[in-house]
Amino acid sequence: MKLADNEEQALKRLRVELFARCPIIDIRLYGSKVRGDGKQDSDIDVMVEIPEYDRVMVADIDDIVYRINLEHDVIISALVFGKDEIEEGPMSESPIYKVIQREGVPL
């Protein structure tokens, strides 16, 4: 996985801010950047797992991602899952979640 300096800095900042402000269970990178076939302008796909899906918390996470995107000139695309959705709902069988579990790299 090869990331540009600004991408690495953005992801470090994202990790610090999310763990400081939210009860994060897991953060994983996935997609083209992890597979090594991303282009210079490819987005950075990130999965964030929180204890339970909470719209206010998801909005806070979106705000953090938005600000970091602007500050570091990157495009982080965050997909937020609640652990409750994964364990008690159909999310564990969704194709995107299976891809994340297979190719995702912990941040």
What gap in Å lies between CA 100 and CA 28, rounded to an integer? 8
What is the mean pLDDT of the segment spanning 61-67? 97
What is the mean pLDDT of the segment spanning 75-96? 87
Q: Which fold has domain 5-106?
A: Beta Polymerase; domain 2 (3.30.460)
Mean pLDDT of the chain: 92
CB 43 within 8 A of CB 9: no
Band (pLDDT 50/70/90 cuts) for residue 46 is: very high
Question: In percent, how much of the chain has pLDDT > 90?
Answer: 70
